[in-house]
Amino acid sequence: MLAGGVQNQPFRLVLLGPPGSGKTVQGQKLRDDFGWVWLSMGELLRQTGDPGLQKVMGTGELVDVTLTNKMMAEAIQVAAVDGKNTVVDGYPRETRQAENLAELGLLPNLVVILNVPEQEILRRLEARGRADDIDEKAVRRRIEVFFDGIGTIRELLENHGVPVVEVDGDGTIEAVHKTIMRLVV
């Protein structure tokens, strides 16, 4: 892979994984270390301040796909206009989101799935203490939603020629970062 993109186009990396797998930490490291644009679906939704969205997120269910598609497509397109490499955190989470990326010509150059054992995920989320991580039932539902959809999402992306690589996300932040960097540089 080449972080400079293909044919002078910005490089797009998607980080997928269950909640607490380290997507945000790794995405922010790429942003901080290399000036990439970090786009987090969860962060975009939290920034709206919409109580209805916050309520849905608190249950562990997915937010309306039309809204998430619109928000992420706009954010990716703005980053592309600026010519910046982009790391997308937590999107797509369902097939219709992946299809949206394909329809708009916004497919990533690479998808990295961070694998972390469930017990470690629960430990990380408890330590993080974010509002949508407090309710264990909601957290378990978010984990279930991720695993229910990832196989179909992966297949759809691979059918569009997008490489999908699984990475052990259970190591230190630096070890996981080095593994990701070997994939993109």
Of 58, 57, 108, nearest in space to 80 by CA: 108
Say whether pLDDT at 50 is over 70: yes
Query: What tens digit of pLDDT does each residue of 109-160 get?
Result: 999 999 999 899 988 988 887 777 778 888 888 899 999 999 999 999 999 9
Say whether pLDDT at 3 is over 50: no
Grade residue 27 by pLDDT with cuts at 50, 70 and 90: very high
Return the domain boundaries, the chain: 14-184
Say whether pLDDT at 5 is over 60: no
Cα(48)–Cα(51) distance, rounded to whole angstroms?
9
Q: Rounded to two decimals, what is the model's pTM?
A: 0.91
Alpha helices in 82-161 (DSSP H): 95-103, 118-128, 136-159
Query: What tens digit of pLDDT does each residue of 60-100 get?
Result: 888 999 999 999 999 999 988 888 899 999 999 999 999 99
- Residue 2: the pLDDT is 43
- Residue 8: the pLDDT is 55
Say whether pLDDT at 48 is over 80: yes
Look up residue 134 and give its two tokens: 């407090």
Residues near 93 by Cβ (< 8 Å), separated by ≥ 6?
16, 41, 62, 68, 145, 146, 149, 153
Torsion angle in degrees (nearest 10) through CA of 164, 72, 120, 124:
150
Mean pLDDT of 29-40: 94
Degrees, nearest 5: CA angle 3-7-12? 40
Residues near 113 by Cβ (< 8 Å), separated by ≥ 6?
16, 17, 150, 154, 164, 165, 166, 167
Grade residue 183 by pLDDT with cuts at 50, 70 and 90: very high
- Residue 1: the pLDDT is 44
Fold of 14-184: Rossmann fold (3.40.50)
Secondary structure element (H or E) that encloses residue 13, with its range: strand 12-16
For 75, 106, 112, 117, the CA distances from 184, given in Å and listed in that order, are 21, 18, 10, 24
In whole angstroms, what separates CA 115 from the centre of its chain? 13
